[in-house]
Amino acid sequence: MYRFIESIKLLDGNFYRLKFHQKRMNICSELFYPNDDFIHLQSALTDSHPPQKGLFKCKVTFESKILKIEYLPYKKKEINSLRIVHTQIESHPYKKEDRTDFNAAFDMRGNYDDVLLVKNGLLTDTSICNIALFDGFSWQTPTKPLIYGVNRANLLEEGKIFEKDIKLSDLQNYSAIRLFNALIEFGEIELNISNIHF
């Protein structure tokens, strides 16, 4: 059986987007542990005595119950260029602890900072982030990413991004791409489309 993770942003004692992390954990529990009670994330985190100062990645490892909670000081990765890499990684509504497929894709980045993954001709994600592209009017995110991220879910709920099937051949119709995840806020990493390489 798989082990799963949630990576949660903790800034000065405040957890970000817990509602969306809880929802994703519930989906995982329904799929893999239908006879077990849901994990109550908020109470587990409160009991773990989280740090009250600084920015941390709270890594929760779980199966039918929480196995481990870790607090890791977080520093944002610099990403200024992407290389297009084709993949057949399966799309999941949860995060597996095993990142072998994503790491193998990342290793194909060459001299660039990260990869922009393409599956069946459609853009999906980078190795660690969901994406949104700007067409001059709105920010559009792939309808079927490889990982359904919590920040992505929040941005969709707030109407800040919109879902669309984005073909690799459509890249020329966009001017910019933003990368975001549970730890990286929308707008913190923005690249011109010219920084995407084949």
CATH of the domain at 140: 3.20.10.10
State yes or no: pLDDT of 103 exceeds 90: yes
> In terms of domains, do 51 and 18 share one?
yes
> In terms of domains, do 25 and 86 share one?
no
> In terms of domains, do 33 and 100 share one?
no
Residues 21-39 have pLDDT tens digits of 999 999 999 999 999 999 9
Domain count, the chain: 2
Q: Does an H or E element contain 154, and which?
A: helix 150-158
pLDDT at 14: 97
> In terms of domains, do 110 and 145 share one?
yes
pTM of full prediction above 0.75: yes
> In terms of domains, do 100 and 162 share one?
yes
Residues 6-20 have pLDDT tens digits of 999 999 999 999 999
Q: What is the mean pLDDT of residues 53-68?
A: 97
> In terms of domains, do 188 and 96 share one?
yes
Q: Does an H or E element contain 176, and which?
A: strand 176-180
The boundaries of the domain holding residue 66 are 4-73
State yes or no: pLDDT of 145 exceeds 90: yes
Contact 52, 13 (CB under 8 A): yes
Going 148 to 149 to 154 to 160, the CA torsion angle's sign is negative
> In terms of domains, do 66 and 87 share one?
no
Longest Cα separation, the chain: 50
Q: What is the C-alpha R_g of the chain?
A: 17
pLDDT at 42: 96
